[in-house]
């Protein structure tokens, strides 16, 4: 045992440790049960004290009366089957409105796409017409220039200096 650092204490019968008899065993079991029940009761007591110390908000009478009046106004003193029928009808109306809104969104997206296509067609048409107009204007300007060159205006096409050399 020279290499071991741990040496357990072992009790033997000679050192005063005696085996328990049946009565001592039952007594120890009873003590254990009483300890456990005492701990459970203490825990219950502690939980109830915590619950007693916890906040328990309550609605005062005036607030309660106001809520009851509002609920009575909302109910309208009508039988429950009528109120349920009206609630169901409102729900169906809301569903119809939501579906119409979704349809309108889809239609608006479609119309935006159609408008962009139409705009593109219109833009193509406008650009084509503008190009045609410019081509015609350029042709007219060239024709006008050719006419001015061809018509004698009484002035020579050269200047005075060129006359000197000729």
| Overall average pLDDT of the 3-27 stretch | 77
Is the separation of the CB atoms in 165 and 158 below 8 Å? no
**Residue 77: which region, alpha, beta or left (left: phi > 0; alpha: psi -120 to 50)?**
left
Residue ranges of domains in the chain: 21-52, 79-149
Helix/strand/coil (H, E, C) string of 29-97?
HHHHHHHHHHHHHHHHHHHHHHHHHCCCCCCCHHHHHHHHHHHHHHHCCCCHHHHHHHHHHHHHHHHHH
- pLDDT category, 165, cuts 50, 70, 90? low
Write down the pLDDT at residue 153.
57
Cα–Cα separations (whole angstroms), residue 166 to 51, 59, 110, 141: 128, 122, 77, 33
Higher pLDDT: 81 or 27? It is 27
pLDDT tens per residue across span 112-159: 777 777 777 777 888 888 999 999 999 999 888 887 776 655 555 556
Write down the pLDDT at residue 160.
64
Number of other CB atoms surrounding residue 80 within 10 Å: 8
Number of other CB atoms surrounding residue 142 within 10 Å: 10
Question: Above pLDDT 70, what percent of the chain?
Answer: 83
Given a cut of 80, whether residue 40 has pLDDT beyond it is: yes
- pLDDT category, 34, cuts 50, 70, 90? very high
Given a cut of 70, whether residue 78 has pLDDT beyond it is: yes
Question: Above pLDDT 90, what percent of the chain?
Answer: 27
**Averaged pLDDT of the chain:** 81
Write down the pLDDT at residue 151.
60
Higher pLDDT: 154 or 87? It is 87
Write down the pLDDT at residue 12.
65
């Amino acid at each position: 045992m020279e290499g071991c650092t741990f040496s357990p204490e072992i009790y033997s019968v000679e050192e005063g440790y005696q085996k328990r008899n049946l009565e001592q065993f039952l007594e120890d079991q009873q003590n254990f049960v009483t300890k456990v029940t005492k701990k459970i009761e203490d825990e219950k007591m502690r939980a109830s004290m915590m619950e007693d110390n916890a906040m328990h908000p309550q609605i005062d009478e005036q607030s309660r009366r106001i809520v009851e009046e509002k609920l009575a106004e909302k109910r309208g003193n009508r039988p429950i089957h009528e109120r349920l029928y009206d609630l169901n009808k409102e729900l169906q109306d809301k569903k119809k409105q939501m579906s119409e809104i979704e349809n309108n969104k889809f239609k608006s997206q479609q119309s935006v796409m159609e408008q962009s296509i139409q705009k593109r067609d219109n833009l193509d048409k406008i650009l084509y017409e503008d190009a045609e107009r410019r081509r015609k204007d350029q042709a007219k300007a060239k024709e006008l220039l050719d006419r001015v060159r061809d018509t004698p205006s009484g002035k020579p096409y050269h200047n005075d200096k060129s006359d000197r050399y000729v």
